[in-house]
Amino acid sequence: MLTVSKLNAAYDGSQILRNVSITVPERQVVTLMGRNGVGKTTTLKCIVGLVKPVSGDIGLAGSSLNGFRTDERARSGIGYVPQGRDIFPNLTVWENLQISLVVHGRKPNGQVDRVLELFPVLKEMLKRKGGVLSGGQQQQLAIARAMLTDPKILILDEPTEGIQPNIIDQIGDTLLKIRKEGKVSILLVEQYLDFCLGVADSFYVMDRGAIVAEGPIANLNEGIVRKYLTV
Ligand SMILES: Nc1ncnc2c1ncn2[C@@H]1O[C@H](COP(=O)(O)OP(=O)(O)OP(=O)(O)O)[C@@H](O)[C@H]1O
Ligand SMILES: [Mg+2]
């Protein structure tokens, strides 16, 4: 579904990503792991078009996204949940969801109801301002908003960061539900190992801007974890 090949990226001339290649097959959950500052978010920003790579190719469902703007990538089927969530704090939950539909020129058509089935907690909070929700609820709102664009691939940047365990479980269950429905592939950037083990089919590990390990999630062994993931 998503292919990233030989991506190189730099900020102000200092190289951050080195030949990063990642494949997310259809209907699968792939996790990209690594310690703080290794380049995970930069990789996602290249995929969604917020950072322009020095070189490399990004493809979605067989078509190249090279040269596409961020909004064109979103319309092509990339749903992005950024690190830190970025919901609109002064809009209500309902308005936060509607804005996604308006921006994508879509009619509600029951889509809001369908997405709210994934996040029942949001149903009770439609009139509340986004900014007063808990971190976990905001995260769920951000995922719901991305799902409303009917993406081919959902890209999440550290959805468990700063969130309490019972909400982390709910988010994990939701990702598994999305996976089971089989319509959306998922690329998950995460540092929380147990969460990845619970939801992912395969993994990539990044260190200093390069992919240093990859494979089926069952191959994520103690040696890799100690060398590249624990602090
Ligand atoms: N806009 C920017 N300008 C300059 N340097 C940046 C910029 N954004 C990130 N960096 C640097 O690029 C490197 C990779 O950052 P990135 O945010 O991709 O890491 P990350 O793996 O997502 O880390 P974290 O787990 O802390 O979110 C870091 O050294 C960071 O300081
Ligand atoms: Mg990051």
> What structural domains and CATH numbers belong to the chain?
2-229 (3.40.50.300)
d(CA 177, CA 156): 15
pLDDT for 108: 63
The mean-pLDDT minimum among 37-51, 90-104, 119-133 falls in 90-104
d(CA 210, CA 58): 16
Q: With 80 as the cut, is the pLDDT of residue 193 above it?
A: yes
pTM of the model: 0.94
pLDDT for 230: 87
Structure tokens at 119: 């996040």
Confidence of residue 138 (pLDDT cuts 50, 70, 90): very high
Q: Ligand 1 pocket check: which of 15, 22, 38 to mutate, most ligand atoms within 8 Å of Cβ?
A: 38
The angle subtended at Cα 102 by Cα 96 and Cα 105, nearest 5°, is 150
pLDDT for 152: 95
Ligand 1, atom 25, lies closest to the CA of: 36
% the chain with pLDDT above 90:
80
